[in-house]
């Protein structure tokens, strides 16, 4: 083994280390592009331009019939930070005073095929405040940023269990924001916090902006819709989904309503 | 020494005693070996022109340091075994124990209490999250159930630790608190990202107080 | 170097002709080159493992605070430098994985079984040189897969290096899927590499010893590597089988380790620890052997009780198979098994004690030479003693109720694997460096490195016993969540700062190591005046090792023999007439 070849040998040892390092660097790049947010709306369909002059809309409300199930107060006594932010009652079935049902996700299920809607730049915010998801039911477009906020400063984890999209299970140990997005339309993606078993949220992921969640008034509105025939679906976490077909003419507003409820005992 | 947490259960002192016995035995060996080593290092440090003694070994020495540790080890094993079954063998659990159930899941302990009738599985049972209330000086048997992954039920002050394994039915542990006050229960087996926060408060009541507390919950 | 070349060149040309550069240094079949390749690769992984440990210590010492320079970390690991709990679990898992599988085990077995076995038994190379090369390159591949797994979506495996099911088997429970699968694939590759190596080491020791090299004239380093290879050959397939089942549970819906459909989470633990406990001995036995060689050399005295040292190695290796249940005292395993596993576990203290006492006996009445390898070997004895004694606490099923899964266990394993194995590895690196590279490492810097490492090592790991006694659980992201652990915040900070310093003081070692490659003092053939056959050939050892096959006349520990003037007597030197005490005997 002469001196020259010994030196070459050391050079190779370094090359080996570099190779190993390159292996990890490559992985890094791949990961970066993988986790990089927006796959964006598919580019093969033309971006839809909705003409305000001809657009119509679908609006209405979701009614509740029967006896609303009793809501239980959530025991947060072992999570003082949240308990101090006020009492919370279960809202799996949130019936409003006016007899409507909140937290129903209403959206255009069929009728927009072939049209493409770019994801909005502004993020959808999901706040965790008082160990509570605000809002509980929300919609988002494919590729749009979901900004998950921990306002409590205690550990929350966000365990998403989609069937179409890729699941994730991430945590927020301190007050912080985490950005995520979804790559495919999916109604609904359930989210839960395993640290606080009562925390549950649902995200409706769509490739268009025509969705609405009923609130304290129980109403919804899908606008401005290009004239056409649509299947509208209303989804509720306990009572499941209902659909209605509507035809929207030029400049027309179609009123529909959905009714969920307990079967008469 | 207050390195160990307070000993607040009926068998905590027994476990601590074994710990200290082992600490003393190993402590003596530790000091002996390290002191001998240091002494040799100093005494036999190399000097020019000196030659080491040519010694290949000694069968007598080998026998001595085989048999002596063996005797100590057997002693420690016997001492340990005098306590282990009384903590862990279900056949030797106290028969007059109050039964609770705990459901461990990522990342919560849900305790089910037998209610005023003292029997689990009846209508007056109630469940609390991350709060274990027990009466003092009363044996308690806890039925363990793990929903998702393995968790470990660990109350340092009571010196009890038992893994809860999903699918392993009929797992139980017992303890008897001997001090009133508040203690902490931890998950001791890595169970996911919220593992470090899978904590419950253990509240030991006087027996009267416990009775009143149960009545309030009903 | 010139004479070395003259001696080596004709041989290598006779046997192989001019070898291309690539055949000579990359896809080499020379056991020494492969050993050196392992050394460079493993030092890299050792650094990776250390770096991961630093991040763990940052979080424990300064929970929730941004790491200095942590801004470069991806948001999925440490947004703004704040370590996330899921990343913390991955750090803990990957630190152990890299240290056990990619640093300590291959540093001992990959590097020194490869480099030492043929040289020390008087063989020209390994029995299966090509298998040997394959073993190395599969190892590299498995290491690369493990490194890549750190950067995939969902993060690296985060279920602990013990990968307890169901946590490891169902991606939903951790949020990790690809990372865990790559972990499994890497371990399978690692197992294949390890098996190829083991077959090779065993065959070489059995078949290729030089004339006169009887089993009981083998150095203890070779004995320990031989026994280790047998352990690995029997234990690693169990792990490989288990992780393949785990991969099936992960990907194709089997339920070997899941509670559904008759699966058993505890089955994983039985299989894992049936491998895992022999693995612990795989990680320490070679260091024991290496330290025995170096202690005898540094004491200028025969090893005390050579045969009983061999029997103790065999006893530890045998007992290692029947103690796995002590990892599972609190697992829900039938408590009646607690007694038998306790007794078998405690029994291991006996051969361990024999070894420690024999090491003391070796130093006794010696003429101690405190060169850097010797200092590290002495540290091994001092620290392994602590690790061995702390093992008795957890061997007791009763005490284990309290200390299981606490920092007491963390302290124990680091006293054995760092205080023991890693100091043994440092001793070996300093000792055989001249034979590997033909140059000496700098002694002064070696001693500085030793003194600082020894000091900070103890400052890091000794206090962990106290944490453990306080009930401090292991693998927790933020101990401050518990009131009873808040009193340890100061100690955790102290440990963390000591750990950063321990990491920093490895810089002198690295500089010494690489600087000496080019600028170190030229090494004579036998710088430590040792008896082993490797010291009878030039430094660095030439291709083919021996000019002519050596003949062995005695054991390797004939230091300060009354038969000769010198204080050492190489194994291959014949002694004629005069005294003749034991010269032709077994030893």
According to the model, what pLDDT value does residue C445 have? 96
For C43, nearest residue in chain A (alpha carbons): A17
Report the predicted TM-score, pTM, of the whole model to 2 decimal places: 0.90
Grouping H, G, I as helix, E, B as strand and the rest as coil, residue B52 is coil
Q: Does residue B116 carry a pLDDT above 80?
A: yes
* pLDDT-derived band at B218, boundaries 50, 70, 90: low
Which tens digits make up the pLDDT trace of C195-222?
999 999 999 999 999 999 999 999 999 9
- Residues 6 or more apart whose Cβ sits within 8 Å of residue C559: B52, B54, C296, C297, C299, C300, C301, C302, C531, C567, C568, C569
pLDDT for C20: 76
Q: Which pLDDT belongs to residue A115? A: 87
Q: Which two tokens stand for residue A139?
A: 């919609």
Sequence-distant (6+) residues with CB within 8 A of A230 are: A58, A108, A109, A110, A111, A112, A245, A246, A247, A248
Residue A66 has pLDDT above 50, yes or no: yes
Measured between CA atoms, the residue of chain B closest to residue A195 is B107
**Inter-residue contact C293 to C532 (CB < 8 Å):** yes
Give the C-alpha separation, C342 to B206, whole Å.
37
pLDDT confidence band for B84 (50 / 70 / 90): very high
Which DSSP string do the residues of A244-262 spell out, in sequence order? EEEEE-TT-EEEEEEEEEP
How far the first Cα of chain C sits from its last, in Å, is 34
**Across the interface, do C4 and A1 touch by the CB < 8 Å criterion?**
yes
pLDDT at C2 exceeding the cut of 70: no
User: What residues in B contact A197, CB-CB < 8 Å?
Assistant: 105, 108, 129
* Residue scoring higher pLDDT (B35 or B170): B35
Contacts of B197 in chain A (CB under 8 A): 155, 195
Confidence bin at C566 (pLDDT 50/70/90): confident
Contact C527, C440 (CB under 8 A): yes
- Per DSSP, the residues of C170-223 read -HHHHT-SHHHHHHHHHHHHHHHHHHHHHHHHHHHHHH-PPTT--GGGS-HHHH
Contacts of B194 in chain A (CB under 8 A): 155, 157, 171, 194-195
Q: How confident is the model at residue A8 (pLDDT cuts 50, 70, 90)?
A: very low
Both tokens of residue C5? 């070349």
Question: Is C82's CB within 8 Å of A32's CB?
Answer: no
> Is A4 a residue whose pLDDT tops 60?
no
Mean pLDDT on A155-180: 93
In Å, how far is C523's CA from the nearest CA of chain B?
22
- Nearest by CB to C396, which of B22, B40, B190? B22
Q: Which of A183-187, B44-48, C383-387 is the least confident region?
A: B44-48
- Phi, psi (degrees; rounded to nearest 5) at B7: -95, 105
What pLDDT, on a 0 to 100 scale, did the predictor assign at position C184? 97
Strands (E), C425-531: none
C332-361 pLDDT tens trace = 999 889 999 999 999 999 999 999 999 999
For residue C358, the number of C-alpha atoms closer than 13 Å in the C-beta half-sphere is: 33
Pick the more confident residue, C104 or A33. C104
Q: Which of the residue ranges A15-24, A225-234, C152-161 would you say has the lowest mean pLDDT?
A: A15-24
3-state secondary structure of C45: helix
pLDDT: which is higher, A135 or B169: A135
A-interface mutation test, from C27, C66, C175, C478, most A Cβ less than 10 A away? C175
What pLDDT, on a 0 to 100 scale, did the predictor assign at position A14? 46
Residues 192-231 on A with a CB inside 8 Å of B are 194-197
Cα C400 from Cα C392, distance rounded (Å): 10
A174/C64 Cβ within 8 A:
yes
Q: What 3-state class would DSSP assign to C59?
A: helix
Give me B39's structure tokens. 């002494």
Which pLDDT score is estimated for A69? 85
Chain C residues with beta carbon closer than 8 angstroms to that of B19: 393, 399, 402
Q: Which of A243-247, B168-172, C12-16, C245-249 has the lowest mean pLDDT?
A: C12-16
Number of residue pairs across B and C with CB atoms under 8 Å? Answer: 287
What is the 3-state secondary structure of C548-575? Answer: CCCCCCCCCCCECCCCCCCCECCCCCCC
pLDDT band at C262 (very low <50, low <70, confident <90, very high): confident
Residue A45's pLDDT band (cuts 50, 70, 90): low
CA distance A262 to C197: 69
Min Cα separation A247/chain C (Å): 42
Dist. CA B30–CA B41, nearest whole Å: 16
Average pLDDT, integer, range C548-574: 92
Residue-level pLDDT at C251? 92
Identify the pLDDT of residue C18.
61
pLDDT of C158 above 90: yes
* Cα gap C458→C445, rounded to integer Å: 20
Q: Is the pLDDT of residue A22 over 70?
A: no
Cβ of residue B80 closer than 8 Å to a chain C Cβ: yes
pLDDT at C563 over 70: yes
In total, chain A counts a number of residues equal to 265
The percentage of residues in chain A with a pLDDT greater than 70, rounded to a whole number, is: 82
Residue-wise pLDDT for C93-133, tens only, equals: 999 999 999 999 999 999 999 999 999 999 999 999 999 99
- Give the model confidence (pLDDT) of C163-174 as tens digits: 999 999 999 899
What H or E segment, with its residue span, contains residue C311? helix C306-319
What pLDDT band is residue A251 in, cutting at 50, 70 and 90? confident
- What is chain C's mean pLDDT, rounded? 92
Q: Under an 8 A CB cutoff, do B56 and C160 touch? A: no
Mean pLDDT of C250-267: 92
Transcribe C318-335 into DSSP letters.
HHGGG-GGGGGTTTTS-T
Of A25-34, B155-164, C19-28, C271-280, where does mean pLDDT reach its minimum?
A25-34
Over the stretch B86-108, which tens digit does the pLDDT of each residue have? 999 999 999 999 999 999 999 99
The average pLDDT across A211-217 equals 93
Q: What is the mean pLDDT of residues C234-250?
A: 95
Estimate to the nearest angstrom the gap between the alpha carbon of A90 and the chain centroid. 20
> Is the pLDDT reported for residue A10 higher than 80?
no
Contact C369, C295 (CB under 8 A): no
| Chains A, C: CB pairs < 8 Å | 108
Taking residues C189-196, report their average pLDDT. Answer: 96
- β-strands A176-180, A146-150: how paired? antiparallel
> Which chain B residue's Cα is nearest to C465?
B3
**Residue A27: is its pLDDT beyond 80?**
no
pLDDT in tens, C5-41: 444 444 444 444 566 777 777 888 999 999 999 999 9
A157: closest CA of chain C, how far (Å): 10
Interface mutation target, options C148, C174, C543, chain A, most CBs of A under 10 Å: C148
B106 contacts C367? CB cut-off 8 A: no
Average pLDDT, whole number, for chain B? 93
pLDDT (0 to 100) of residue C95: 97
CA distance C579 to C563: 6
Per the listing, tokens 């089942």 go with C245
What is this model's ipTM?
A: 0.95
Q: For an interface test with B, give the residue of C399, C481, C486, C491 to mutate (most B CBs within 10 A).
A: C399
Q: In A, residues 27-86, which contact C (CB 8 Å cutoff)?
A: 27-28, 30-32, 34-35
């Amino acid at each position: 083994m002469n001196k020259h070849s010994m030196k070459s040998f050391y050079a190779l040892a370094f090359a080996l280390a570099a190779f190993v390092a390159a292996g990890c660097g490559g992985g890094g790049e791949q990961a970066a592009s993988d986790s990089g947010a927006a796959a964006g709306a598919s580019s093969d369909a033309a971006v839809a331009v909705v003409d305000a002059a001809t657009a119509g809309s679908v609006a209405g409300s979701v009614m509740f019939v029967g006896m609303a199930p009793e809501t239980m107060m959530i025991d947060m006594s072992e999570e003082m930070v949240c308990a101090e932010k006020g009492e919370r009652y279960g809202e799996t079935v949130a019936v409003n005073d006016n007899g409507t049902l909140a937290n129903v996700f209403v959206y255009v299920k069929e009728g927009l095929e072939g049209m493409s809607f770019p994801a909005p730049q502004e993020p959808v915010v999901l706040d965790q405040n008082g160990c509570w998801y605000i809002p509980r039911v929300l919609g988002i477009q494919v590729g749009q940023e979901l900004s998950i906020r921990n306002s409590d400063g205690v550990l929350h984890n966000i365990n998403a269990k989609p069937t179409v999209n890729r699941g994730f299970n991430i945590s927020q140990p301190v007050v912080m924001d985490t950005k995520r997005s979804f790559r495919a339309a999916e109604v609904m993606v359930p989210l839960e916090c395993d640290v606080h078993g009562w925390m549950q949220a649902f995200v409706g992921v769509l490739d268009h902006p025509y969705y609405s969640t009923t609130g304290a008034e129980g109403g919804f509105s899908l606008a401005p819709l290009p004239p056409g025939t649509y299947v509208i679906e209303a989804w509720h976490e306990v009572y499941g989904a209902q659909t209605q077909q509507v035809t929207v003419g030029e400049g027309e507003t179609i009123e529909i309503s959905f009714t969920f409820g307990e079967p008469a005992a | 020494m207050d390195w160990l947490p307070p000993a607040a259960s009926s068998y905590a002192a027994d476990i601590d005693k074994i710990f200290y016995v082992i600490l003393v035995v190993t402590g003596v060996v530790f000091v002996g070996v390290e002191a001998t080593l240091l002494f040799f290092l100093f005494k036999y440090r190399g000097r020019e022109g000196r030659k080491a003694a040519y010694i290949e070994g000694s069968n007598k020495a080998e026998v001595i340091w085989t048999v002596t540790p063996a005797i100590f080890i057997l002693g420690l094993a016997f001492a340990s075994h005098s306590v282990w079954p009384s903590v862990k063998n279900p056949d030797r659990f106290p028969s007059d124990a109050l039964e609770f159930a705990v459901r461990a899941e990522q990342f919560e302990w849900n305790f089910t209490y037998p209610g005023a009738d003292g029997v689990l599985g009846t209508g007056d049972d109630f469940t609390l999250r991350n709060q274990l209330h027990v009466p003092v000086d009363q044996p308690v048997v806890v039925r363990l159930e793990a929903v998702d992954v393995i968790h470990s039920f660990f109350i340092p002050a009571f010196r009890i630790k038992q893994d809860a394994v999903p699918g392993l039915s009929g797992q139980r542990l017992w303890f008897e608190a001997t001090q009133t006050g508040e203690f902490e229960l931890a998950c001791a087996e890595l169970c996911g990202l919220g593992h470090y926060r899978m904590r419950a408060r253990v509240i030991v009541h006087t027996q009267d107080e416990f009775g009143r507390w149960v009545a309030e919950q009903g | 170097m010139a004479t070395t070349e003259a001696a080596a060149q004709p041989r290598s040309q006779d046997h192989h002709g001019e070898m291309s550069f690539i055949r000579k240094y990359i896809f080499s079949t020379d056991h020494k080159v492969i050993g050196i390749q392992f050394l460079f690769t493993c030092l890299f992984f050792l650094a990776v493992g250390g770096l991961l440990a630093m991040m763990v210590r940052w979080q424990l010492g300064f929970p929730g605070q941004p790491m200095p320079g942590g801004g470069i970390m991806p948001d999925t690991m440490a947004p703004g430098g704040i370590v996330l709990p899921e990343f913390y679990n991955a750090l803990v898992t990957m630190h152990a994985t890299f240290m056990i599988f990619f640093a300590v085990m291959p540093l001992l077995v990959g590097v020194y079984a490869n480099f030492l076995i043929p040289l020390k038994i008087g063989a020209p190379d390994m029995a299966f040189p090509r298998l040997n090369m394959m073993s190395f390159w599969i190892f590299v591949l498995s290491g690369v897969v493990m490194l890549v797994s750190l950067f995939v979506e969902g993060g690296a495996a985060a279920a602990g290096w013990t990968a307890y099911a169901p946590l490891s088997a169902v991606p939903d429970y951790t949020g990790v899927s690809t990372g865990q699968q790559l972990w499994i694939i890497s371990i399978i590759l690692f197992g294949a590499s390890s098996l190829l190596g083991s077959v090779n080491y065993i065959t070489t020791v059995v078949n290729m010893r030089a004339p006169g090299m009887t089993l009981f004239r083998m150095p203890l380093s070779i004995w320990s590597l031989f026994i280790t290879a047998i352990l690995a050959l029997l234990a690693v397939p169990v792990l490989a089988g288990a992780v393949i089942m785990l991969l099936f549970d992960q990907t194709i819906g089997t339920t070997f380790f899941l509670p559904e459909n008759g699966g058993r989470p505890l089955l994983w633990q039985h299989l894992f620890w049936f491998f895992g406990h022999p693995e612990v001995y795989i990680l320490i036995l070679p260091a024991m052997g290496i330290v025995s060689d170096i202690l005898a050399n540094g004491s200028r005295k025969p090893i005390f009780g050579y045969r009983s040292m061999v029997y103790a190695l065999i006893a530890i290796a045998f007992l290692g198979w029947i103690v796995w249940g002590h990892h599972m005292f609190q697992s829900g395993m039938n408590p009646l098994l607690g007694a038998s596993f306790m007794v078998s576990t405690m029994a291991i203290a006996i051969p361990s004690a024999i070894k420690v006492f024999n090491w003391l006996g070796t130093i006794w009445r010696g003429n101690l030479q405190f060169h850097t390898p010797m200092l590290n070997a002495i540290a091994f004895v001092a620290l392994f003693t602590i690790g061995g004694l702390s093992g008795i606490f957890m061997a007791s099923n009763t005490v284990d109720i309290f200390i299981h899964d606490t920092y007491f266990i963390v302290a124990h394993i680091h006293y054995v694997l760092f205080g023991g194995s890693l100091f043994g590895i440092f001793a070996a690196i300093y000792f055989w460096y001249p034979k590997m590279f033909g140059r000496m490492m700098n002694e002064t810097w070696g001693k500085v490195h030793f003194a600082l490492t020894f000091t900070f090592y103890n400052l890091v790991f000794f206090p962990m016993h106290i944490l453990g006694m306080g009930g401090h659980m292991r693998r927790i992201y933020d101990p401050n969540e518990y009131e009873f652990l808040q009193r340890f915040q100061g100690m955790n900070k102290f440990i963390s700062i000591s750990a950063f310093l321990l990491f920093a003081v490895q810089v002198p070692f690295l500089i010494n190591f690489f600087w000496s490659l080019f600028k170190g003092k030229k090494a004579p053939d036998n710088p430590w005046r040792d008896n082993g056959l490797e010291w009878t050939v030039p430094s660095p050892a030439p291709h083919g090792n021996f000019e002519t096959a050596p003949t062995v006349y005695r054991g390797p520990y004939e230091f300060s023999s009354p038969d000769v003037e010198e204080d050492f007597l190489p194994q291959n030197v014949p002694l004629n007439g005069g005294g003749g005490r034991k010269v032709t005997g077994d030893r």
